[in-house]
A = this chain, B = another copy of it.
Amino acid sequence: MQSLGVTGGAGLAYGALSTLGLAPASAQVSYRSPAMGDLIGKAGAGARVAILGGGPAGLCAAYELGKAGYDVTVLEARSRPGGRVWSVRNGTTETDLNGETQTCTFAEGHYFNLGATRIPQSHITLDYCRELGVEIQPFGNQNANTLVNYQSSTPISGQSVQYRTAKADVYGYMSELLQKAASRGALDDVLSVDDKEALSSFLSDFGDLSSDGRYLGSSRRGYDSEPGAGLNVGDQRTPFGMSETIRSGLGRNFSFDFGYDQAMMMMTPVGGMDRIYIAFQREIGDERIHFGAEVSAMHNTPEGVRIDYTRDGTRTSLDADYCICTLPPNLVGRLANNLPGDVLTALKAAIPISSGKLGIEYTRRWWELDDRIYGGASNTDKDISQIMFPYDHYHGDRGVVVGYYNTGKRHLAFESLTHRQRLAKAIDEGAALHGENYRRDIASAFSGSWRRTRYSEGAWVGWSGSDSHGGEATAEYTKLLEPVERIYFAGDHLSNAIAWQHGAFTSARDVVTALHTRVAAS
């Protein structure tokens, strides 16, 4: 699959661009935008492209095609750009598919991202931020002062433990054990004398071991009272025992920090992720984006494509030369269409995932004042899964905490509830981690469940027969990479970065490249 990707994916794109005389900007980003000059004297100059959906893939495609003078029209059912990138702030109103209407009353300047909220350094999302002038800031994706809290058969069960404490103990005992095994000669068949010496030196530092190779606690665990001046060396915490540390599963989420897409530094736009899409909208031009346009039909016709949509109660048809359909794959089959049966079958292999978030506005930043937490998330095996702390308004008089961001079964425990019920459950579970502060000083809250959100009906998709975020190239996935006559599909679901904006952007770029290559050759 890796070699297929290199020779068939990036390689193919490069070849296509070469026919236009373009070279990739760098090894990492093998993409070059269509340009005005590319179509001079070509029959396809000014080709009309209907783009269904004004989320990341749709707006990216419109923006990129616009650079070469394509006549793009974006049809977006919502009244805002961004799709599943949704920053909830004062005035946000939404009626969900449970029939409940919420209106956000957060104080001015406060928000949370109900959809995408963080950007890894490697993602082209950051390149769009740069290109579009969207100001960015660090996103706190790791914090030694946030808490872990899990059930186990040990005395630690249900206790809130700082990440720093959990890491110190787990790394300490892990190092002690490996040190012991190596020194006993238990690994002499795979470790040379030199290896063992280097390993011992590393483990001593990694685990903060004593000179005789034991873990006896560490300042890395933190203090019950802070060291200060004079003779105040602080009140260092006593380590947990080795067996309870191991059996409690305190380290079950450590690898999150190492993940390719999650390791610090992570970035996010100042003021909300939707700033990216407001910038795309500005560049594309309001006249090219029809908000409130609910698409009902998508057909290939002998001359091109015809899209039917309803806007302000009026049904309209849009004829174009090409269509880029970025609607969620789970919703495409509902359109009146003349797609082949195998394409409709392939679309059904994209299974919508249940996920959502709840934002709680507090009028006291207790996480800073009492818990010394400046961003990052606490982690638990309760249904809330995690509590994410704000990365803005530090030291302000209020802030919005994400009371849960969960998926699958854990989110199913919330999605059918009313908003009040969700909030009550989130507060109960959150208070089990962060204490009574969690119940106090709440000004307002807003929740969303993507499977119950109109025009999405899913947070992202998983492909039947695949357990990865793309990349396994099931037959259905691969099927949808090819256009159906003049209809192209794009979105994060057709990428190796499902649930990331990067996936939507790279998919849009691939489609733009394919379409532009076709037009330029016409």
- Do A506 and B129 touch (CB < 8 A)? no
On whether A198 and B394 interact (CB within 8 A), knowing A8-B231, A506-B229, the answer reads: no
**A265: chain B residues within 8 A (beta carbon):** 140, 142-145, 374-376
**A231: chain B residues within 8 A (beta carbon):** 1, 4-5, 8-9, 473, 478, 481
Binds B, one of A47-55, A233-241, A280-288, A303-311: A233-241
Binds B, one of A202-210, A417-425, A448-456: A202-210
- Do A195 and B29 touch (CB < 8 A)? no
Give bound CA distance, A495 to B234, whole Å: 11
- Do A187 and B181 touch (CB < 8 A)? yes
On whether A264 and B143 interact (CB within 8 A), knowing A202-B246, A391-B138, the answer reads: yes
- Do B121 and A374 touch (CB < 8 A)? yes
Give bound CA distance, A408 to B247, whole Å: 43
On whether A164 and B5 interact (CB within 8 A), knowing A144-B263, A506-B228, the answer reads: no
**A495: chain B residues within 8 A (beta carbon):** 227-230
| A409 in the interface (beta carbon within 8 A) | no
- Do A228 and B496 touch (CB < 8 A)? yes
| A97 in the interface (beta carbon within 8 A) | no
On whether A219 and B260 interact (CB within 8 A), knowing A180-B187, A228-B9, A254-B206, the answer reads: yes
- Do A375 and B138 touch (CB < 8 A)? yes
| A507 in the interface (beta carbon within 8 A) | yes
Give bound CA distance, A226 to B137, whole Å: 22
- Do B164 and A258 touch (CB < 8 A)? yes
- Do B233 and A2 touch (CB < 8 A)? yes
- Do B9 and A246 touch (CB < 8 A)? no
Can you name the residue of chain B whose Cβ is closest to the Cβ of A258? B220
Binds B, one of A108-116, A171-179, A323-331: A171-179
| A467 in the interface (beta carbon within 8 A) | no
Give bound CA distance, A137 to B506, whole Å: 31
- Do B136 and A228 touch (CB < 8 A)? no
- Do A225 and B496 touch (CB < 8 A)? no
Give bound CA distance, A208 to B254, whole Å: 12
**A194: chain B residues within 8 A (beta carbon):** 243, 247
**A192: chain B residues within 8 A (beta carbon):** 243
On whether A164 and B260 interact (CB within 8 A), knowing A372-B122, A374-B265, the answer reads: yes
- Do A497 and B228 touch (CB < 8 A)? yes
- Do B246 and A199 touch (CB < 8 A)? yes
Q: Could you mark each residue 1-37 of chain A with 1 if its beta carbon is under 8 Å from any beta carbon of chain B, else 0?
A: 1101110111001000000000000111110000000
Q: Could you mark each residue 183-215 of chain A with 1 if its beta carbon is under 8 Å from any beta carbon of chain B, else 0?
A: 010110011101100110110011010000000
Give bound CA distance, A228 to B60, whole Å: 14
On whether A190 and B198 interact (CB within 8 A), knowing A136-B394, A227-B5, A260-B219, the answer reads: no
Can you name the residue of chain B whose Cβ is closest to the Cβ of A391? B138
| A77 in the interface (beta carbon within 8 A) | no
- Do B230 and A9 touch (CB < 8 A)? yes
**A6: chain B residues within 8 A (beta carbon):** 225, 232, 235
**A394: chain B residues within 8 A (beta carbon):** 135-137, 267
Which chain A residues numbered 131 to 156 have a C-beta less than 8 Å away from chain B?
A: 135-138, 140, 142-145
**A182: chain B residues within 8 A (beta carbon):** 177, 181
The 4 closest A-B pairs by CB, nearest first: A9-B232, A186-B186, A181-B181, A144-B263
Given contacts A121-B144, A142-B264, A195-B242, 13 further A-B contacts (CB under 8 A): A29-B226, A30-B225, A122-B222, A122-B223, A137-B138, A174-B178, A177-B191, A195-B247, A198-B246, A206-B251, A232-B496, A234-B496, A264-B376
A–B Cβ pairs within 8 angstroms, 24 of them:
A13-B232, A27-B225, A30-B225, A124-B226, A126-B374, A129-B395, A136-B394, A137-B138, A170-B202, A177-B187, A177-B190, A177-B191, A177-B199, A180-B190, A195-B243, A198-B246, A205-B255, A208-B255, A220-B259, A227-B496, A228-B495, A228-B502, A228-B506, A229-B490
